[in-house]
Structure 1
């Protein structure tokens, strides 16, 4: 009993210290907030009731090809497409938008696949696009494929890039992972304090980006601030944590098998979250033979190696179109 009492006292002490530190971090952030120079607001459209930021790269040489709509993934903004989009816009219009809760789009729940799909459909309508090809990066692939499943006539094709469009991990095709532990870790005040401390630090964000992006990725202060800026705006951290507490969005394997819109899959060889084996399995579910791989590239190859990424993506787009 004496041993248990000592363990209980130790745990209680750790908890009190942890809560106190979290409170100090949040108080520090309120007293001395970090301000970074964000790019000027891009086009804002009403997408299914969500004020949505959209970036547009007009075609350098219009060719009549279907326009592209680019969907970023978890914790990403349109910035992730900033280096590859101009290359893709050589002969077609290219658009990218911030998914609800991320970037500079309004923080409007619910943060669910249905709501995200509504927003994508709303973006297409608001921009007056006719059957674009949608490229979803990472978690954005789920949103793109969800619209293709819901309304096949809305899109000409979908590319799943660096993501399989499902909430599953590895060989377990029944569990989305995280669960209760993810909810506990994101609750206040510890969750907000940890994320706030991370986004306030250029050094930590630089390490995260470099690990996912590779040696070709911009990691100067201005580039890192492009990553940090959305989360340093009012409500940015709160929205990120609210999304993280929700189950991961994605289609089931059977739902992917029901997609009949033309699709393609693009992976990176050194992407731990979506390698070539996972890409082939995704292509099999989607009934497509259009699969490309970037050997040696990482998850954010579209930002770190835009030339290679575009060179692999364009042939897939042409065959879809």
Structure 2
């Protein structure tokens, strides 16, 4: 840990630790820290630098806000860095923040006020906007096949991981952050577990965040699709009703097996990387390699829950 100003604009009234995760974020990290320095609510800033080698350390040390910094020996991914940071938080609320996000000045004030007004909510999801002003996300919905998808309006199932605020105690109670996910679906998995503990998740569009989206990872790349497909299955095996998890794992395997036959028959196959057999076989291999630990995690999650998986699933997918 590198020493720094761990109270941000605050002091004894600081209720939130903002955990910023960065990896090779030199080009946009300064704007993120500038936006945090302009917040109207006291807060503490903790930056987890995932072994950046692009000069990010110099940006952090030179920034006038002097954030506390924890530098890792290797890249732990977004989920791994958040899991590492959780025991270091020590405040009522924990905010997650992408290093390519720049919150508006009232972002934290709006999110804290929303959670204060709704004691049964464990997390609040802001409005993430592209630089053009287009809404990227106000939270997540859960699709009938168990995908987490960005919502642009209306009630949400879960929070988008780019800039949410969570009750620290609720997050710990629900099992923390799934660090092994590395990147993607850590937000949907955490939302699932909060729901299983009886908490709700709020959408707070008044809390606005400019988000570059994909400045660190490349949406649509093979690595992006590998993480997404693998982590969706990880999440379902951990959190969803057994029938849903088994159905979606079987469906993924069946589509993988049928793809070569479709190509041989001259039938159309989507060009996206997640329809490449080699990538899908790698995903299946990773899921099967972790199947026993995932089932152990599933058992622990179920024992700690106050609602059944079927109740939570049925609340967002009433037809099954």
- Interval containing the TM-score (normalised by the shorter chain): under 0.3
TM-score by length of 2: 0.26
Q: Which is greater in Rg?
A: 1
More strand by share: 2
